[in-house]
Structure 1
Amino acid sequence: MAKKPLSAWPWENLGSFKYAMYGPLAANVMYSWIYEDSYKHPWCVHILIICALRGFMHQLWNSYNNMLFLGNCRIKQQGVEFKQIDNEWDWDNFILLQGLLATMACLMFPSMDDEFPIWNTKGFITLMLLHVMVSEPLYYWMHRFFHGRYLFTHYHSLHHSSSVPHPFTAGHATFLEHLILSMVIGIPIMGSILMGSGSTSMIYGYVLGFDFMRCMGHSNVEVIHGAIFNKLPFLRYLIYTPTYHSLHHSDMGTNFCLFMPLFDAMWNTLNRNSWQLHNKIFEFRGKWEGSGFCVPSPHSGRNVGDAHSVCKPILRINTLLHKDVSATILACNFDDIANDVGMVQDLPPHFLQPSRPFVPDMDCSQIRFSEHCLFLQYFLPFAADGINKKIEEAILKADRMGVKVISLAALNKNEALNGGGTLFVNKHPQLKVRVCHGYTLTAAVIVNEIPKDVKEVFLTGSTSKLGRAIALYLCRRRIRVLMLTSSTERFQKIQKEAPADTQNYLVHVTKYQAAQNCKTWIAGKWITPWEQSWAPSGTHFHQFVVPPILASRRDCTYGDLAAMRLPEDVEGLGSCEYKLERGVVHACHAGGAVHQLEGWPHHEIGPIDVDRIDLVWEAALKHGFRPVFQP
């Protein structure tokens, strides 16, 4: 169906090139700064600054909207999906539109070239009167008109297509709607200026305050405590809340106001459940809804890129989340939805430094150094107690919240650190939450990646938790395993675990040269480019080493870290995990979800039970998980 006039944005097909429309303003500022003593058109600077601050305002609200570890009261339990993220990709079109309209207004009124005073009390009074007496009722009635059949179908339905309101949803609307919204926000400002009472603080304050209220109303977390309204009931009619506005998206015949429910009350469109729902939101604060949850507990630093990965889902920067990067922070309810609820118990201050997340490709040596330190702290003996304390706090909090399974991320389940979670289970035998390292499914993914006709594999990291399980499993399949290790004692210990008739399939090697004729390598330990040079041409490198090995051989192929594709019916998922593609999670996290779905009563901790590898693999496939790599 062809789009109606003014429904599409004029620069819809320009993509990122739309930002070039800020170019004339920026050029004017640069020219004045370099060649002139003072700005001839100071409004150019102010428009650019205000546009930047408005974008920053929306980003901050989106970041707060996802910081559920702060104890935020979530209104809708489902997460924001990729489809909604894609639809709202150009949420900032309205900032560009209003910047252009402001530029046109300044060109039409030469008096704008004069500097406004910083403060004018009369201007603020005029502004507030115009807002309450003109903008609020104007928006209310225009909003109601847009809910008529024709206008809603062709214009307003786009805004309501977002199933989970969040701050970016505030800007997600058609061109016509934002033209009208520009008039709503422009009347108080222009009215005050034309009456001779304008000021710089008035313009900045009103525009940013307007965006603040819009972002707050479209957030999926409640920020105004119900006790405030209970003690001061009249405030209910002077300021709306996220809960109040969320009801408009579920019951579209009510709650039309801009910021003041007073106008809904005046014209009998106020949803009678507004205050009850608002109080109920706080009653369920900190409780998990749904039939069951699996919460991966991320570590502070996995490698240089991981601190950045942790920032992305919390800060929710669309350009990062939309791509194959981001969240190790994810909670999934695979019976109904996959909520992007995160538990961050050990997030250090370095993650919140603004320079890194908002300039993702910035080469900031200080932040990179911090990330290296976060990675190294897991290998410092004196840091072990502090790290385990944080992990223990996360497990106990999950237990109190009613979480069914908590899946430990790679370094949080380090054998030397806490025995793969054994330390916590032994210390708290009464735990209801199941602690799960998920490595059984990781081992299953790796062994099922190996083609059936392979007769020999070369295994590094062979005496690690995963290496041991993989070696024992493959030898049962009569596959010869070249186990690279310098410890004869550890090799012999593993060899004795194998059935007597398959022990000869485990071969102890101490040098990479031993694998120069083997085309299937499994890397469980970092392999340098020089060490890779011993592999014959055509070798495929499977791996479970963190960080992944460098792909230095063009004549060889390299697998990714063990991962599985989520079931197709998973909902509410809107961020990628680490550097994986959409809908793909690391196998150990998928293992935690399978553990919850099966309702297994045991903890998955300590050494991997080789006898359960096939069982866990079949359970994952039964629930719709699919391997990413097919041999």
Structure 2
Amino acid sequence: MDAPLAAWPWDNLGMFKYVLYGPLVGKALYSWVYEDKRIEYWCLHILFISVLRGLIHILWNSFSNMLFLNRTRQINQRGVDFKQIDNEWNWDNFILLQAAIASMGYYIFPCSESLPRWNTKGFIALQILHVAVSEPLYYVLHRHFHRNKYLFIHYHSLHHSSPVPQIPTAGHATLLEHIVLSAIVAIPILGSSIIGYGSISLIYGYILMFDFLRCLGHCNVEIIPHRWFETFPFLRYLLYTPTYHSLHHTEKDSNFCLFMPLFDALGNTLNSKSWEDHKKITSASGENVRVPDFVFLAHVVDVTASMHPPFVFRSLASLPYSPKLFMLPFWPLAFSAMFALWAWSKTFLISFYWLRGRLHQTWAVPRYGFQYFLPFAQTGINKQIENAILRADRLGVKVLSLAALNKNESLNGGGTLFVDNHPNLKVRVVHGNTCTAAVILNELPKDVKEVFLTGATSKLGRAIALYLCRKRVRVLMLTLSTERFQKIQKEAPIDCQNYLVQVTKYQAAQHSKTWIVGKWITPREQNWAPPGTHFHQFVVPPILHFRRDCTYGDLAAMRLPDDVEGLGICEYTMDRGVVHACHAGGVVHLLEGWTHHEVGAIDVDKIDLVWEAALKHGFKPVSSLRNRQISS
């Protein structure tokens, strides 16, 4: 059983907890409609402050997750994993709590409408009360929560359960702690009002600055220059830094202050490494950053998908991508950002994770899916990909894997263009399609006798067709180009060539229940499939799930090994811990220590080799068909 006041009373409400703001909205509307246009402004003030507080935390969170800007100033280099994100999901409970306390406080002290907008004396009184009362009171209580075993285990340990301080960590605490914190916040506000110096701007200013400084301490990015403290030595006792507060999370018996290290100095709890670590991070920014062993070079799929990275909404990025209604108002902003990224044209870091002690990063080319099909844009896109490869080569990256459209055959020959232009590359360029082919082929039923293949003359289509014909599986290859079909057919062993059959219409597949889709097909074309057909696919974007009497596979993907650390972002529509097969193929390339480039045509002889290597390193297939077979 939880300790008293440890759990939040609306824990079971989920997203419906925001309905608790309803009485404030209802009171304001009722007063405006039925009370002679007299608006209950105190309700609006509480609601507006709550919105602004949430916005401050969201913007700080966006900044702290912009790894392409602040990766070199990260204090704790560990990644934020799904467990921490889930634990901190309801970080904004304290805003709702303090809105409720403010509502009750209004009925006790109904003075908001008599407060002036500004009172200079009030700000002076507020600062005196904060320094003389709130800061030392917080220090004493915070220290007591640590020193008292019962209080720490049942209340304060929750806050320290997050291994990497983040903005949501600031609000991740028990109900009792936030009741205590609410009282500390209220002291300067109520005290200034009681002595007659209160004002509306004082309430707004103090609460918002309080949240701003809390976010500063938890942002995990050191942004305060050490030269400030060298020029003004006493300033270090008046304002804490993210490094200072981060030490409290790693070495819990030090640095207990609210915002002013002065009280840690007076209480002899100031960590001796506080200024040394701060100077080390700020003065050596960019010098001691670990070079990743592996880079996955991704790209944005469309405008709405551009809102999926963690620097936009961390919680949204931790779930498989799907369009959400609440994202619609942000679409114009994302659309504008698209042009900004197009103009900026710099590859940026999205996320990272650790596997077997090696750092794996995801970089992104700031190009959207439709831009890859604009003839005039292809030269510029190739230039950006080339720059990313050369940058990785300079850094000492071992393997760089190209995602989806970044290795398009018509764009750069599956990466061949870059290897030919730079024959002395140390970084290995990998398209990962060998692993993609292996995943698709191992999804097929073991007793399959015939498959229908669209996109049959593409890199993947060619490899799949040649592999299956060697297994004596009849492959209906949909293509209008007899020349390209015959070229592939001649690559097959002579005794297997008759298993490759050219077809030019979808009607030819009306009796085949296994479709491998490598080229987008319309619902009308899907109608030629017989009932019970399963659609395997390696086409981007995935085909529509139109037929209710058929089943659809996901894009080729694999689950990462269990020892992955710091992974907190879903790769596009993939589930947690699942990556596209080409991503997995690049990781396998690294783990195996292979020294060849994997570009251009797929080596059919290596498909089984890559598959076995992936399984050996702990990768798991996630095919929907396989899951259904297991469950049945």
The question of a shared fold, defined as TM-score above 0.5 by the shorter chain, is answered with yes
Counting aligned pairs with the same residue, the percent is 66
- Equivalent residue, structure 2, for 1:313: 310
In 2, the alpha carbon distance for the partners of 1:159 and 1:619 equals 41
**Which among 463, 469, 481 is matched to residue 487 of structure 1?**
481
Residues 1:473 and 2:473 are matched in the alignment: no
**Which among 319, 323, 326 is matched to residue 319 of structure 2?**
323
Counting only pairs closer than 5 Å after superposition, residues 249-268 of structure 1 correspond to structure 2 as 249-268=249-268
In 1, the alpha carbon distance for the partners of 2:279 and 2:424 equals 33
Q: 1:552 to 1:423 in 2, by over 3 A?
A: same
Aligned residue for 2:162, secondary structure, equals: coil
In 2, the alpha carbon distance for the partners of 1:487 and 1:438 equals 26
Residues 1:24 and 2:23 are matched in the alignment: yes
Aligned residue for 2:234, secondary structure, equals: helix
User: Is contact 2:32-2:40 (8 Å) kept?
Assistant: no
In 1, the alpha carbon distance for the partners of 2:218 and 2:358 equals 21
Letter in 2 for 1:224: I
In 1, the alpha carbon distance for the partners of 2:166 and 2:527 equals 51
Structure 2: gaps spanning 5 or more residues: 324-348
Residues 1:336 and 2:357 are matched in the alignment: yes
In 1, the alpha carbon distance for the partners of 2:287 and 2:30 equals 57
In 1, the alpha carbon distance for the partners of 2:227 and 2:260 equals 19
Q: 1:551 to 1:338 in 2, by over 3 A?
A: farther
- Equivalent residue, structure 1, for 2:104: 104
Q: 1:57 to 1:520 in 2, by over 3 A?
A: same
Residues 1:576 and 2:564 are matched in the alignment: no
In 1, the alpha carbon distance for the partners of 2:227 and 2:364 equals 28
Q: 1:39 to 1:229 in 2, by over 3 A?
A: farther
User: Is contact 2:70-2:221 (8 Å) kept?
Assistant: no
In 1, the alpha carbon distance for the partners of 2:288 and 2:580 equals 23
Letter in 2 for 1:250: T
In 1, the alpha carbon distance for the partners of 2:285 and 2:122 equals 41
Counting only pairs closer than 5 Å after superposition, residues 381-400 of structure 1 correspond to structure 2 as 381-400=375-394
TM-score, normalised on structure 2? 0.90
Q: 1:101 to 1:338 in 2, by over 3 A?
A: farther
User: Is contact 1:239-1:261 (8 Å) kept?
Assistant: yes
- Equivalent residue, structure 2, for 1:423: 417
Q: Post-superposition shift, 1:314? A: 2.2
Residues 1:524 and 2:518 are matched in the alignment: yes
Aligned residue for 1:343, secondary structure, equals: strand
- Equivalent residue, structure 2, for 1:548: 542
Letter in 2 for 1:79: G
User: Is contact 1:7-1:155 (8 Å) kept?
Assistant: yes
In 2, the alpha carbon distance for the partners of 1:386 and 1:324 equals 30
Aligned residue for 2:515, secondary structure, equals: strand
TM-score, normalised on structure 1? 0.90
Deviations 1:116-166 (A, max 9, x none): 333222111111111111111111111100002121011101111111110
Q: 1:18 to 1:485 in 2, by over 3 A?
A: same
Q: Post-superposition shift, 1:337? A: 7.1
Aligned residue for 1:222, secondary structure, equals: coil
Q: 1:259 to 1:98 in 2, by over 3 A?
A: same
User: Is contact 1:94-1:171 (8 Å) kept?
Assistant: yes
Residues 1:346 and 2:343 are matched in the alignment: no
Measured on the aligned residues, the alpha-carbon RMSD in Å equals: 2.1
- Equivalent residue, structure 2, for 1:371: none
Residues 1:611 and 2:605 are matched in the alignment: yes
User: Is contact 1:69-1:344 (8 Å) kept?
Assistant: no
- Equivalent residue, structure 1, for 2:277: 277
Aligned residue for 1:313, secondary structure, equals: coil
In 1, the alpha carbon distance for the partners of 2:162 and 2:268 equals 26
Aligned length: 598
Q: 1:434 to 1:157 in 2, by over 3 A?
A: same
- Equivalent residue, structure 2, for 1:42: 41
Q: 1:217 to 1:106 in 2, by over 3 A?
A: same
Q: 1:391 to 1:253 in 2, by over 3 A?
A: same
- Equivalent residue, structure 2, for 1:360: none
Q: 1:216 to 1:428 in 2, by over 3 A?
A: farther
In 2, the alpha carbon distance for the partners of 1:535 and 1:255 equals 67
User: Is contact 1:290-1:333 (8 Å) kept?
Assistant: no
Deviations 1:18-60 (A, max 9, x none): 2222111101122233345554531111100011111111111
- Equivalent residue, structure 2, for 1:559: 553
Q: 1:262 to 1:432 in 2, by over 3 A?
A: farther
In 2, the alpha carbon distance for the partners of 1:287 and 1:512 equals 58
Q: 1:335 to 1:285 in 2, by over 3 A?
A: farther
Counting only pairs closer than 5 Å after superposition, residues 129-528 of structure 1 correspond to structure 2 as 129-148=128-147, 149-282=149-282, 285-286=285-286, 292-300=292-300, 302-303=301-302, 305-309=304-308, 312-318=309-315, 320-325=316-321, 329-336=350-357, 342-346=362-366, 374-528=368-522
In 1, the alpha carbon distance for the partners of 2:450 and 2:4 equals 66
In 2, the alpha carbon distance for the partners of 1:513 and 1:568 equals 44
Q: Post-superposition shift, 1:185? A: 0.9
Q: Post-superposition shift, 1:305? A: 4.9
- Equivalent residue, structure 2, for 1:599: 593
Q: Post-superposition shift, 1:249? A: 0.9
**Which among 610, 622, 625 is matched to residue 628 of structure 1?**
622
In 1, the alpha carbon distance for the partners of 2:482 and 2:78 equals 52
Q: Post-superposition shift, 1:603? A: 2.1
- Equivalent residue, structure 2, for 1:121: 120
In 2, the alpha carbon distance for the partners of 1:242 and 1:344 equals 28
Structure 1: gaps spanning 5 or more residues: 348-373
